[in-house]
Amino acid sequence: MAGRLNIGPQQALDRPPEALVSFWSQSVHDPAGDAVWRPLAGGRTNSTWRVTGQQTDLVVKLFRPEAHTPLFDNDPVAEERALVALEGSGLAPEFVGAGLTAAGPSLCYIHVDGRAWRPGDGAETVAQALAWLHARQAPGWLGAAPIRVADLRRQAREMLAQIGAAGEAITALEPVLRDDIPLKGAAFLHGDATAGNALMSGGAITFIDWQCPARGDPVFDLAVFLSPAMQAVSGNRPLTPAEEQSFLDAYGEAEVSRRYRALAPLFHWRMAAYCRWRAARGDRGYAEAARLEEARLRAET
C-alpha cells in the first residue's frame, strides 16, 4: 500500500524530498516546468505523489525497502517488474520508469483516474479482475507463496511469539484444520489485493502497489480481499456473507472457492496475528482491525 509513510505510529510525509523532485524533473520531460506535486493519502508503507503539469499526469512512489512485514514484502524491483509484465493489460498502471534517488528507490507510472473500491461498487468487479490476473502466465522471476498449511501456521506463530502476552488471546483461537489440505497452483498473485489497492476506473479495476507479487495459490489474493481487517484498513466495513459469496461466484473457479472456504479459518487466524503484531508496534488502526478478524474467526469455528 502506498501514500503515507508509517514509522511506528503513523507519520505523514507530505512534502517530497528535493532529491526525488530533482531526479524525476530531469527524467520526465515537462517543457512548461510547471509540475505540481500533491501527496496521495491512503497507504501505510510508502509515500506517493500525483505529479501534474501541462503534459504530465503521473504518480511518483518513494519506497522504504526496510518497511517489509512478515506477510507483505516491500520490494521496488518486484513492483517495477510486475508493472512491465502487465503493460497494456489494464490490471496495473502503465509504467514510466524507476530509479535509485538520493532519497531512496522510487518509480513512476501514469496516474489512474479512479478511486479505491467500496462495497457499493459490488465485489464482483474485484473478483473478475483477480480471475483475469490469475489466468495470466506467471513470470518466472516471481517468488513462491507458501505451499503448505504448516507454513501459514508457522507465519502466525512467529508473529505471536514476537509480541508475547499481547498475542495470547489470538494463540488460543488457532483453528483445528488438517495440515494436509493442499495449496495449489502457480498463479500470478498481486500479493496485497486489498480494497485500497483496487482502483475503480471506468467501471473496471486497476490494481496498484505491486511491491509484493508472488506465484502461488489464488486463495492468497482472495483471502486478503475478503479479510475483515484488510477491508477496515482500507476504510470499509467488513463484507457481508452474501457479498463474500457473490465475490466467490464471480471469481468463477469452484475448486478455488472450495479451497478458500476450507482454509478461511486459518487465513483469518493468521491475519488476526498480523494485525496484533502491527498494533504492538504502534501502527494505528490495527487493534480494531484485529478485533474484526477475530470476530469472523469465532463465527467460522
The whole model's pTM is what? 0.92
**DSSP conformation letters of 102-159:** TTEEEEEEEPP--EE--GGG-HHHHHHHHHHHHHSPPPTTSPBPP-SHHHHHHHHHHH
Q: Tell me: do 188 and 264 sit in the same domain.
A: yes
* CATH number of the CATH domain containing 130: 1.10.510.10
Q: Is residue 9 in a domain?
A: no
Q: Tell me: do 89 and 234 sit in the same domain.
A: no
Beta carbons of 79 and 192 less than 8 angstroms apart: no
Give the number of other CB atoms < 10 A from CB of residue 103.
Answer: 17
Q: Mean pLDDT highest for which of 11-15, 18-22, 206-210? A: 206-210
pLDDT digits (tens, 9 = 90+) for 244-283: 999 999 999 999 999 999 999 999 999 999 999 999 999 9
Q: Is residue 12 in a domain?
A: no
Q: Tell me: do 50 and 153 sit in the same domain.
A: no
Cβ neighbours for 87, distance < 8 A, ≥ 6 positions apart: 94, 95
Give the number of other CB atoms < 10 A from CB of residue 49.
Answer: 24
Task: Categorize the per-residue pLDDT at 33 as very low, low, confident or very high, splitting at 50, 70 and 90.
Answer: low
In the prediction, which pLDDT does 44 show?
67
Q: Tell me: do 261 and 132 sit in the same domain.
A: yes
Q: Tell me: do 92 and 164 sit in the same domain.
A: no
> Could you tell me the residue range of the domain that residue 189 belongs to?
115-300
Which residue's C-alpha cell is 494505528?
284
In the prediction, which pLDDT does 291 show?
96
pLDDT digits (tens, 9 = 90+) for 290-301: 999 999 999 887
Residue 164 has pLDDT above 60, yes or no: yes
Among candidates 63, 15, 19, 12, which has minimal Cα distance to 36? 15
CA dihedral 56, 48, 66, 160 (to 10 degrees): -150
Q: Tell me: do 102 and 197 sit in the same domain.
A: no
Q: Is residue 11 in a domain?
A: no
Give φ, ψ of 176 to 5 degrees: -90, 105
Q: Tell me: do 106 and 120 sit in the same domain.
A: no
In the prediction, which pLDDT does 263 show?
96
Q: Is residue 189 in a domain?
A: yes
Q: Is residue 5 in a domain?
A: no
Q: Which residue, of 50, 82, 110, is where some domain finishes? A: 110
pLDDT digits (tens, 9 = 90+) for 233-252: 999 999 999 999 999 999 99
Between the alpha carbon of residue 46 and those of residues 140, 231, 275, the distances in Å are 26, 19, 18
Cα separation, 31 vs 52, in Å, equals: 12
Task: Categorize the per-residue pLDDT at 6 as very low, low, confident or very high, splitting at 50, 70 and 90.
Answer: very low
Q: Tell me: do 100 and 40 sit in the same domain.
A: yes
Residue 31 has pLDDT above 80, yes or no: no
Q: Tell me: do 157 and 57 sit in the same domain.
A: no
* CATH number of the CATH domain containing 105: 3.30.200.20
Q: How many domains does the chain have?
A: 2
Q: Is residue 13 in a domain?
A: no
Q: Is residue 3 in a domain?
A: no
In the prediction, which pLDDT does 42 show?
63
Residue 39 has pLDDT above 70, yes or no: yes
Residue 13 has pLDDT above 80, yes or no: no
pLDDT digits (tens, 9 = 90+) for 119-151: 999 999 999 999 999 999 999 999 999 999 999
Q: Is residue 1 in a domain?
A: no
In the prediction, which pLDDT does 251 show?
98
Task: Give the range among 25-39, 73-87, 279-293 with minimum mean pLDDT.
Answer: 25-39
Residue 168 has pLDDT above 70, yes or no: yes
Q: Which residue, of 110, 133, 161, is where some domain finishes? A: 110
Q: Tell me: do 57 and 91 sit in the same domain.
A: yes
Q: Tell me: do 58 and 147 sit in the same domain.
A: no
In the prediction, which pLDDT does 257 show?
97
In the prediction, which pLDDT does 12 show?
42
pLDDT digits (tens, 9 = 90+) for 211-229: 999 999 999 999 999 999 9
Q: Tell me: do 82 and 227 sit in the same domain.
A: no
Q: Which residue, of 110, 126, 156, is where some domain finishes? A: 110
Residue 55 has pLDDT above 90, yes or no: no
